[in-house]
Chains A and B, each alone.
Chain A
Amino acid sequence: MTSSQPSSSPGVWQSILHASWPWRVTWLYLTLFLFLPIAALILKAVTLNPAEIWRIATDPVAIATYNVTFFTALIAGIINGFAGLVIAWVLVRYEFPGKRFLDAIIDLPFALPTAVAGLTLSTIYSTNGWIGGFLEPFGIKVSFTRLGVLVAMIFISLPFVVRTVQPVLQALEAEAEEAAWSMGASPWQTFWRVILPPLMPAILTGVAMGFSRAVGEYGSVVIIAGNIPFQDLIAPVLIIQRLEQFDYAGATVIGSVLLLISLAVLLVINLIQARGRRFYG
């Protein structure tokens, strides 16, 4: 049999023709459950009239939802960028009671279903809730407003920066810091010049991942928000509303906008990681 010849890098066609069972299952599964659905969206989008696409994509309600979705997700990402750095720093560098518990609970947003998160956040941050009650006298309302969307997005994007920064910080040797210290650098200078630069790719990757997750989030936001157009309606909720009105074209266009943004963020993450590897690998 010629196929028994060892070949170090077979061509793509050859590998499909001589595919082993794992390969066949992989391609079949990806085709059925991933490629086919994506193709359905793309095919639907290209059958629409470009003028129609433009009209739907730039409809004032749609623009307002992009604004709420992307802007709020960006703020959530930035807040978690700072907080995540501090959390990672504290978990890697310090010893204190309850540290292991804290480390384990960081992943709660990955494990807790988003419907539960939305439910409990909306109770706590409502005007008669434990935290919302404190804010109410200051005229701050969280649940059923854009601030509620922000809180939900902060919750679901919390683990990303912590988990991307932690391993890099662990690998970072304390020697460079100590050297900077002993040469008379202030703590501030040490932080800005020695510690932060090698952490930057990890922080940006985490922020981008958190942003991407927050942009696509539905479950927790739909429960804590009022879902009112021009106020706190996010793009994924608008897609569902369009589908409920059997407006497939409207849902497709807004879905495609979301998909393109997700792919763009994915590209940015890959670029950041490639740069990070080149400089600090």
Chain B
Amino acid sequence: MADSSLKQPVAAAPKLRGATSEFQWGKWLLVAFVFGYLALILLVPALNVFIQAFKAGLPGLVDTFTSKFFLNAVKLTVIVTAITVPLNTVFGLCAAIALANKNFPGRSLLISIIDLPFSISPVVAGLMLVLLFGNRGWFGPLLDANGIKIIFALPGIVMATIFVTMPFIAREVLPALEEAGTQQEEAAATLGATPWQTFWRVTLPSIKWSLLYGLILCNARAMGEFGAVAVVSGNIVGKTQTLPLFIEEAHIQYNTQAAYTAALLLAGLAVVTLVVKYLLERRAGIQHRGH
């Protein structure tokens, strides 16, 4: 079937010979435009990260890699991600399971609500948390009295990161669950499986690729989030400075080598993310979507 539909344009080609050569000409013009545009916006900037990072050779890289503040920033970024991603995974799975096989009034509204963080500026998200937990915020006096620090501390950074990455897993898993349907789960339940067994043995295997897809996107965003974290972190060097904040600070202080070493690490993360994403799209046929 696919074969015959491929042959159709070929069969029509001789009639449109003049048009076809015009097509060829136009084709290469458009391809050249695309390469040029993407070179200016994506390729040259991406390449530049690697070139700048290796400009001073390995000693330059090692210098930054052994600096205390850099290592602290790496550590904080890893900690924040290690808390955020599992929490969002539990939420994403729960939300998708809750939404998948039910039709109730307001279902599409709820799906829009879960997607809402993608539409809100990360800076506004950070502002909301400051208004809640900052020392002049709604819960400020209460937190102060109990000696709890959320803003300018780890909990605030985690909450800001949770806010901006909340939709990633739910929106990937939900369509996969809808497609898988409930028949197998019902069969497992009839055969005496507990809900927990059904989840691990039946539900999870059917959505694993979509879950992984959501996970890597969530992970990349969690490690790279800047705007929301910038508002709540206070940017205390060595304490509440994540890698993106470290890059900004190094850049402002003209410490180009340090900035690009940190950028190299995050660009490496981006490359891994894109490769895994590409493989998942090929192997598991997951559709990419804008977000």
Residues of A within 8 A of B (CB): 8-12, 15, 20-23, 25-26, 29-30, 33-34, 36-38, 40-41, 43-44, 83, 86-87, 89-90, 94, 96, 98, 100, 102, 104-124, 130-131, 151, 154-155, 158-160, 163-164, 167, 174, 178, 181-182, 187, 206, 209, 212, 215-219, 222-223, 236-237, 239-240, 243, 246, 248, 251-252, 255, 258-259, 262-263, 265-266, 270
A227 to B288, CA, bound (A): 34
B290 lies within 8 A of A209 (CB) = yes
A110-B217 contact in complex given A34-B113, A94-B30, A160-B290, C-beta closer than 8 Å: yes
A34 lies within 8 A of B166 (CB) = yes
Residues of B within 8 A of A (CB): 8-9, 12, 15-16, 19, 22, 26-27, 30-31, 33-35, 37-38, 40-46, 48-49, 52, 87, 90-91, 93-95, 97-98, 102-106, 112-114, 116-117, 119-125, 127-132, 134, 136-138, 159, 162-163, 166, 217, 220, 223-227, 230-231, 243-245, 247-248, 251, 256, 259-260, 263, 266-267, 269-271, 273-275, 277-278, 287-291
A270 to B90, CA, bound (A): 28
A269 to chain B, nearest CB (A): 9
20 more contacts with CB within 8 A, not counting A107-B288, A118-B248, are A8-B103, A15-B102, A22-B94, A25-B94, A26-B94, A26-B95, A40-B128, A115-B245, A116-B244, A123-B48, A163-B290, A167-B287, A216-B122, A219-B230, A219-B248, A223-B251, A236-B124, A243-B127, A248-B131, A258-B123
B138 lies within 8 A of A90 (CB) = no
For B34, list chain A residues within 8 Å (CB). 86-87, 90, 102
What is the total of A-B residue contacts with beta carbons within 8 Å? 278
A172 to chain B, nearest CB (A): 13
B120 to chain A, nearest CB (A): 6
For B116, list chain A residues within 8 Å (CB). 34, 266
A113 lies within 8 A of B226 (CB) = yes
- Nearest CB to that of A213 among chain B residues? B118
A33 to B291, CA, bound (A): 20
B242 to chain A, nearest CB (A): 9
Which of A90, A258, A270 is close to B121, meaning CB atoms less than 8 Å apart?
Answer: A258
For B245, list chain A residues within 8 Å (CB). 115
- Nearest CB to that of B95 among chain A residues? A26
For A40, list chain B residues within 8 Å (CB). 128-129, 131-132, 137-138
Q: Majority SS of interface residues in chain A?
A: helix
A1 to B123, CA, bound (A): 49
B64 to chain A, nearest CB (A): 14
A148 to chain B, nearest CB (A): 13
A37 lies within 8 A of B128 (CB) = yes
A100 to B277, CA, bound (A): 13
A119 to B114, CA, bound (A): 31
